Every structure is written in structure tokens, then in C-alpha cells.
Amino acid sequence: MRTLTFFLICTAIGIGVFAAARLVDNDYLFFAGYVVLQYIVLATAWNILGGYTGYVNFGSAAFFALGAYATVFLHKALPLEISSLIVIDPLPIPVLIVIGAVISGFVGLGMGYLTLRLRGAFFAIATLALAVVLQTFITNWSFVGGARGAYVIRPNEIEPIGPYVQYLFLLMLALAVTALTVARFIERSRLGLGFAAIRDDELAAEASGVPTLKLKLIATTISGALMGMAGAPFPYYIGYLQPSSAFALDYAVNSIAMPMIGGTTSWVGPLIGAVLLGTLQQIATVTISSSVNLLIVGLLIVDCVIIAPTGILGLIEGRRTARDVVADPAVFALLFGINVIPIYFLHQEALTARPLEIIFWAVLIFLALARGRLIGQLWLITLPIVSAALSVVPGPPLQGLISILALVICLACGLLLRPREAATRSGTP
Amino acid sequence: MDVPFDLLVNALVAGLLLGAFYAAVTIGVSISFGMLDIVNIAHPGFIILGSYIAYIVNSRLGIDPILASIVMAPAFYALGALVYQVYYASFERYGQEALRGLAFFFGLLFVTEVTLILVFGVDYRYVEAAYIGPSVQIGIIDLPLRMLVPCLVALTLIGALQLFLSRSFLGRAIMAVAQDQLALQLMAASPTRIKRVAFALSIATTAIAGALLIVIQPVEPSIGREYIGRVFAICVLGGLGSLPGALIGAFLLGIVESFTASLPWLGPSWAPAVAFGFLLITLAVRPAGLFGR
């Protein structure tokens, strides 16, 4: 019953969010919120396979795009007159979501079968290959628009809700609630235990009677279906769908980065990561340009995997593993040196980047503080503060100087990092 | 099946030339992923960095891009050593390299790419050299020098690396790391130091591969993404940790892509599907690759 309670609480929060957004009554809020919610679904879906089971999927975009293209196909095919009596009307979006989920779920199952023997990086490469193959098929399929893309005209209004974008937002909110409930349910069930066993040691799990084959297929199917669900309303949201936007690398990157940053072991992790990264990216898109999105994502991934080995969630909880892994302070210093250079260019680029920079550095200061507290080296917090100060030094004349200074810091730290023989640990026992 | 014979021959030759270039791009991943088990997804990012450095040197000083890249290779070697040091200190030392290491390199790829966009913009950049325009005609075969020169440089690079790995002491030590780290430790050698040399070497090759790339086609920062899949496909296709295997894998992929692009009933837009479909089948049927150990 506790899953039901959780679902009801989530639904209540969802209704609250929707009501609050209605109060502000700004269409842009719904457009931006839709994207963030979509990332919550994608990140949660990725985490079921990647975080719980330990299989890295680089092809999230493929499943997402399958859902989207199922919608485009049905949009083009319907209304269909089989005879004068039987006419199939255009389907409402909730039905399209279910269809998207079924199709992507089946492809996920197929991918599971195809890649059963592959582990680790090979599985990741296979999913990448699958995404490329699917993209090529869609690009060459002229019925759904081919490389030119397809228009899906979005109605302006829908009856009980009002503006159509609010309807889409509400649907995505429902999907996010569903995805989180599914993830939490899996996490606490026998299924989740099995997934965790596969992640920790597949051979040992197999030997102790865990049906690894079946569980992996279940994981790929559920994960794929959720991603397909997230994709199904997308053509209506964007209005004009082309393969390069449906298969955009952003989806693959974000759905990996968000759980990694938030924490992969729990349903809360992808939620934190998606809200944080999604919001930052929306701010970046509005204030500067969309290419800067990826810079923020890239820097945060690099920072988080080093400073917060178990994600933000792990840092907050003070998880043991995070305490065990006492990373070299020199690595931290190097990291902040690396952060300074791109952010410095960003700072020179535009005045509008200020809020973004402030949030970015605030996140880093929080990370350094939390990690420093965990490993008992609170002085680590000075590193992001110094970096932040360095990145705002004014004027192009200093540009080269700052870059060189940052590089010198990097190199000095690199020299500090000479390997210590005693610490060497090889993978084999 | 009325495809003209000379079209087929030219497609084959173009595929071989392209394949040699792909091999130069892959060779670094063959070392880092194949031998050291470091999933360096950021490899194409370093290649684009190499292209841009070749472009800067070429446009400012007018030096030949390939020559410039050979001069720059030591700097890339140092960069590689630094990256490995960070990777080792934060992931490998704790045996946590699998998922987080992957994410680390993924992030690195985007940081490189977007920094290049912020500095140079998204315009296509190209280099100038005497061999970029003309082509040589041998019978019915058309050999553009723009492809032929990179092909020869790539083959030399691979030959030299293969010679280094199989003949020199350090090269054999790298092969030993690939085979059994523990045994190496028991012989009082430090696998970390050897791995650092090997990884730095793999990054040094990207300087040259990047110059070859910008000779073959104009370059913009996000072009590296096209190579992520291709590079790992070749590496897996040929079998991990084998340079000749990578070369054969690269030739295969180059020929398949070139044939798909020139056959009238398929066309260039189908090339990725054929190449990656090939990879998927290889992975499903023979996960160790065609020439795996």
C-alpha cells in the first residue's frame, strides 16, 4: 500500500505544482517546465537500467525518438478510412503515450535480447550503435518526413484546461509522477534487489539463483517504455519534428548526467539532477545560447563524478562510500582550474550569463562544502571561491594571463599527483 | 545490377583511403580502451582540439598542418599524462572506473567541444596546403591527394606504433599491462606509470589524427560526435587491443561506408545504418571482435 500512498502524495504535489504554475499564468513557464519534467522522466527511466542494474545506455535518444515518431506516424496515418463504416479517428495524446510506451518497450526488449552477452562498455557501445541505425532508418523513411522533418499542428486550445501547452505540461507531470512511482516501487521490491545484485556482481548473482537474464530483460523493457512515453507528446510540443532534434545528443547526455549528478542508487537522485540541470539549461537557453547548455552539463558531470562520487544525494546523506574515497586535494584544485577557463570565456561573452554563473558557482561551493565536511578538510571550500573570483577578472587584456595562470595551477597540481606506489590497487584479487 | 565497373573500383579505393584515415583516428582508442580498459569517450574531442591547433598554426604561421601536428604531439602527450593522472587519482585507484570514469570522459568531451565553440564559433575551418586541391589519375582510378597524403601518414603512424609496441622495452611493458596487471606488479613494475605513458601516447596520436581530419574535410567543433560511434565501432570490430585488428576494422568500415554511399540504390544517407548494423551483428555474434584475443 505504501506505493499507493507515495503515488497519491506525488499526485498531490503535482497538482500543487500545476496550480502554482496556473497562478503565475505565463506560457513560457509551461514551455520551460515541460522540458524539465521531460528530463525527470528520461533520467528516471535511464536510472532503472543504468543506476539500479548497472548497464549504461547511450541510446536514450533512440527510445525517446521512437515514441515521438510513433506519434508522427499515427498523426499522418489517421484519420484512416478502412471502409465507409469503419473510420479510425485521430487518437488523443494519452493513447499515443501508451502506444509510444509499447513500441519503445518492445524495442527495449529486443535490445536486451540482442545485447545479453555484452557487459560494461560493450553494452554502452551497442546501444549507441542501435541509436545510429534507428536514426538512419527514420531519416530515410519519407512517410514520417524523412530528413526534412514533419509538421504536427498543435491545436491552440483544449476544452477543460485552456491553452494546449498547459495540457501538455499536465500530461508530462502525470508521466513524471508515474515514472517516479515506478522507480520507487522497483527500488523497494524484490525486483530492485535483483537489479542491485546484477549491478554489484552479475556472476555472483547468477550463481546465487538470481534470474539475471529475465531481470535484465525486464529492466531494458521498463526503461525503454518510460523513455518512449516521454517522447510521445514531444511532436505536439515542438510542432515540427526532424530526426536531428528527436535523436539529439542532448537527450542521451542529459539522461546519463542527471542521475550521475543527483545520485544513482535512489529515485530521488535523478529527480534532483533533472531539476537542477534542467533548470540551469533552461536559464542558459533563454539568456545565452543553447550550446552553452552542454558546457554547463559537461562541467557539472566532470565536477560531480570527482567531488561527489555518490551524487549530491550521497553527499547530503554522508554515505560511507563518499567518505572512504578521499580524493586528492590536488585533483580538486586542478578541477577548479579547469572550471575557470570556459566560465571565463562565458563571462566575457555576455552580461546575461550572470545568473547562470552565480548558480553554477553556488552549486560548486555547495559540493566542495559538503565533500570537505565529509572528509574533514573544510578548507576545500576556498577552492571554488578562488576560482569564482578568478573567472570574473575583467577585461580582454587579462584573458591570456588568466588562462595561463589557470593552466599553471593545473600543471602544478598535476605534478603533485605523482602516483604513490602503495596506493596502487589492481582490479583482480 | 548495372553498376559501372570503374565506379566499383573507385569506391573500393576511396574506402581504403578513408579506412586508413579511420585507423589513425581509432589507434588511440585501441590503446586506451583496448589495452588499458580506459573508456576514453573524449577521444574525438581531443582529435578536434588537434584539428584546431593545426588550423591555428597553419593560418598564423603558414606551416604545413601535418608537420605542425607532429611538432605539437609532445604537448598532447603531456596533456594525456595529466588527464590520466586525474583519472587515476579520482577513479582507478578506488576501482570505481567503470561508470564514473565513463561519465567523466563524457563530460570532458562536452567541455572541450563547447569551449572550442565559445572561442572559435561554429564556422567551418579549413587549412591550406599544396596537396589539398589536386589529384592523381592512375588508369581508371582517381586518387585525390587530399585523401592519399593522410592515408600514407596514417599508415606510417600505425606502423611506427606497432613497431614500438612489439619491439621496444616500454612497448612490451604496455602490452604486458594489457595482458595481466597483477603479474606486472609482482615483477616489481608499476602498472600506473606504464599506463600513464600508454594513455599519454594515445592522446599524442590525436594531434596527428586531428591534423589529418582537417586536411580531409573542413572542421567545426561538434563534428567530433560523428566519430564517437565510429571509433568505438572500429575498435570493437577489429578486436580489442590489437593494432592490426583496428587497421582491418577501419578498412572494413571505410569500404562498407564508401560502397553504400556510391551504390545508386542506397546512397550516402544509408551509410551509417550499414556500418553500425555491421557492428551490432558483430557484437551479437562475436563479442570479442573479428580478431579478438
* DSSP structure string for B171-211: HHHHHHHHH-HHHHHHTT--HHHHHHHHHHHHHHHHHHHHH
Question: Which of chain B's residues have a Cβ under 8 Å away from the Cβ of A253?
Answer: 106, 110
**The pLDDT of residue B172 is above 60:** yes
* Position with higher pLDDT, B36 vs B293: B36
Instruction: Give the chain A residue nearest B112 (alpha carbons).
Output: A295
Which positions ≥6 away from B277 have C-beta within 8 Å?
Answer: A129, A133
Determine contact: B139 vs chain A, CB below 8 A.
Answer: no
Instruction: Give the chain A residue nearest B240 (alpha carbons).
Output: A122
Determine contact: A427 vs chain B, CB below 8 A.
Answer: yes
Q: What is the mean pLDDT of chain B?
A: 83
| Stretch A295-316: mean pLDDT | 80
Question: Which of chain A's residues have a Cβ under 8 Å away from the Cβ of B280?
Answer: 114, 126, 129-130, 133
B198 to chain A, minimum CA–CA distance in Å? 15
Which of A:375-414 have CB within 8 Å of B? 410-411, 414
CA distance linking residue B188 with residue B172, whole number of Å: 15
Share of chain B above pLDDT 90, in %: 14
* Long-range contacts, stretch A409-415, CB < 8 angstroms, 24+ apart: A409/A333, A409/A334, A409/A337, A410/A334, A410/A337, A410/A338, A410/B82, A411/B82, A413/A330, A413/A331, A413/A333, A413/A334, A413/A337, A414/A330, A414/A334, A414/B81, A414/B82, A414/B85, A414/B86
pLDDT tens-digit series, residues A352-363: 667 777 888 888
Instruction: Give the chain A residue nearest B86 (alpha carbons).
Output: A331
Name the percent of chain B in helix, strand, coil, to the closest 5. 75, 5, 20
Polymer length in residues for chain B: 293
Determine contact: A423 vs chain B, CB below 8 A.
Answer: yes
A325 to chain B, minimum CA–CA distance in Å? 7
Which of A:259-278 have CB within 8 Å of B? 260, 264
* Position with higher pLDDT, A350 vs A234: A234
ipTM: 0.78
Residue A50's Cβ-side half-sphere holds a number of Cα atoms within 13 Å equal to 34
| Stretch A51-79: mean pLDDT | 84
> Which residue bears the cell 596546403?
B129
The dihedral formed by the CA atoms of A13, A17, A19 and A21, expressed in degrees to the nearest 10: 180
Report the Cα–Cα distance between both ends of chain B, in Å, rounded. 39
pLDDT band of residue B96 (cuts 50, 70, 90) is low
- Write down the H helix ranges in A308-328: 311-317, 320-324
CA distance linking residue A66 with residue A224, whole number of Å: 10
Which positions ≥6 away from B248 have C-beta within 8 Å?
Answer: B238, B290, B291
* pLDDT for position A107: 87
B7 to chain A, minimum CA–CA distance in Å? 23
Cis amide bond preceding A79, omega within 30: yes
* The three three-digit cell numbers of residue A345, written as one number: 570565456
Determine contact: A338 vs chain B, CB below 8 A.
Answer: yes
Cα radius of gyration rounded to whole Å, chain B = 19
| Stretch A245-271: mean pLDDT | 84
Contact by Cβ (8 Å): B65, B216: no
Which of A:78-137 have CB within 8 Å of B? 114-115, 117-118, 120-122, 124-126, 128-130, 132-133, 135-137
Helix (H, G, I), strand (E, B) or coil at A155: coil
Determine contact: B111 vs chain A, CB below 8 A.
Answer: yes
B154 to chain A, minimum CA–CA distance in Å? 25
Polymer length in residues for chain A: 429
The verdict on a CB contact (< 8 Å) between A253 and B110 is: yes
* pLDDT for position A419: 45
Share of chain A above pLDDT 90, in %: 4
Contact by Cβ (8 Å): B131, B145: yes
Instruction: Give the chain B residue nearest A349 (alpha carbons).
Output: B118
* The three three-digit cell numbers of residue A58, written as one number: 547511450
Which of B:246-275 have CB within 8 Å of A? 269-273
CA distance linking residue B237 with residue B272, whole number of Å: 15
Contact by Cβ (8 Å): A372, A379: yes
Helix (H, G, I), strand (E, B) or coil at A162: strand
* pLDDT for position A117: 72
> Which residue bears the cell 580502451?
B33
pLDDT band of residue B227 (cuts 50, 70, 90) is confident
Domain assignments of chain A as residue spans, ordered by start: 3-280, 320-427
pLDDT tens-digit series, residues A71-119: 888 887 776 666 666 666 667 777 888 888 888 888 888 888 877 777 7
Question: Which of chain B's residues have a Cβ under 8 Å away from the Cβ of A133?
Answer: 272-273, 276-277, 280
Q: Which of A147, A417, A421 sits opposite B190 (nearest CB)?
A: A421
* The three three-digit cell numbers of residue A126, written as one number: 551497442
pLDDT tens-digit series, residues B42-74: 899 999 999 999 998 888 888 888 888 888 899
Determine contact: B121 vs chain A, CB below 8 A.
Answer: no
Determine contact: A202 vs chain B, CB below 8 A.
Answer: no
Contact by Cβ (8 Å): B26, B250: yes
The verdict on a CB contact (< 8 Å) between B122 and A56 is: no
Nearest Cα residue to A49 out of A131, A135, A2, A111: A111
